[in-house]
Structure 1
Amino acid sequence: MNLKSKFRKNMKCKRKYAKLVAGFYIAFLMVSSGKITSYAFARPNITREVEPNNTKETAQLTTQNNEIATVVAMSDWSGRYLISGITNSSDDDWYKVVLTPGDQYLTVGCYTKNASIHIELFDSENKIIVPGYISSDTDTVVKRFQSNGGTYYVHIEGTSETDTEYNLSVGSPRVISHELNIQFDRSTTSGTIYKSFSLKNETILPRDSIVSSISVLNSSEYSSARVTSSAYPKTFTTTDGTIKDLGLKDISLKSDWEFIYYPKGSTANVSPVRFLFVYPLYDDTVIPPPFHTIKK
């Protein structure tokens, strides 16, 4: 690769790295009751590709991904180990990672429009564990495999001359943050409002989804609200509309819920509910639509 190409690649990589870091900060600026609320934040570990890494012998070392949903639900992303790189058809990128035995996940995102990459995973004996496949046009591919422990190698190569941006993690599944809104029918009353509903059979919601916070929108109309879940033995009470820091309580989103509202006066609107939640990105996970709303 000539000097000009190397310079262009390095600058693109720096811009991509900046976008990734900025994106993680933005993801945790949540709108609640008309205000921007910033949660405590522990950064993910994002490493740029370092040349030369064009051969297995010069493979760049990365760390096994170690994300845990209940920890990420507390805004702690320190278990994420991500490589951000750029490749094309003239550029082979190699990485190595030491893995513990058991189920592991190779997760690769391709973020250049109309571009693709070829990806392979090898063990230390040069046996192909995950065969080559294509991740194309803003796609994220997840492949589960069985690790016997030891060093594994990832080979990435672009399929065209176009510089193609990607990110890579190997280890535990990446954890994704999401939002779900619950809307209720109108109900004019000045008395206590009871709303019960179940999310157990909502197929749009990924398995192993963990609640990180709950917001009662339009909370100024209520003196307080109480929340109970079949997945947790205690009742939560809020007077400001938000229940935060729920991650380590390991409360499944897909459970039975009851919300009890105590209006300050007569009201015709039952306040919507916003769940912020996280879930592991498995190889069979279907990602729900952004800002999804369910009517109950």
Structure 2
Amino acid sequence: MGLTSSLLARSGGKHASGDAVVESSNLNKGSARDCSTRKKADDLNEYGVTTGKGDEPIRTAPPSVVIPWVLSDVVDSLSETDGLRRGVTWEQHAARLRVCWQEYGAEFPKEFAGALTGCLETGGNGDQVATFLLDIFAGEATGETERMHVTKGTKELWPLVFRKCRQSLLRKREPDWTSIPAIESRQKIRQLLWKLESVGTSKQLWSKRVFSFEEQKFANKNAKRLLKALKKLERGLDRVDREANKVIGEAKRVAIEATLKPAPWEVHVASAPRA
């Protein structure tokens, strides 16, 4: 016997009371809510995020999950022919990044900086990935990029991200700063900087001019600061790579010299023993 039939039988036949109908409706709604809650829990558990008990709010996933997932989905949305749909999707991604930053604080820009090295490994879609990054970094307080701009109160995201990049990529005290993986990481960031600058130029982000009868609007201050930061980080990468090449070259010279055959008259005399 179905749930509704059972309620009708208990209420005395065909003419069920209003209470029975309400009870049935509430039970159905409760079942739907339970299913929805279980579905959300399953989705989050897939990413290793636990849900709260009872009515406790569900925490957003950590930056190590949110940031790679968002960037990956940005790449997947590049083939989207509906520009409006893609725009709405990117706005949702920007909102996810804001929420994650709000909840996890300093961990967020650190994780974001680490994720930048893989941004251009997208099979030739670097321009639009760079467009997404420029929108969340240098969006204006008003206008079409307002919903894309990722901030935390008055804090901009990109200065914190670039600071982490400088700390991790420009330190020469690290024992592996001249290693091939370290050089490759710097090169990936350099390529990203070039792409951001190129796309920003094509979008007139650095010197945007909107002419009207009464006003002339130039690029917002945040975009100009971002461009200066791009160039500063690029110069830092170039400097570190030049110094790394010197260290590597000198190490190679020493290794080669150790293998050279001495001339017949070049006799190494052992030092006399001390008295």
Q: Same fold (TM over 0.5)?
A: no
Higher relative contact order (CA 8 A, sep 6+): 1
Normalized against structure 2, the TM-score is what?
A: 0.24
Normalized against structure 1, the TM-score is what?
A: 0.23
Q: Is the helix fraction higher in 1 or 2?
A: 2
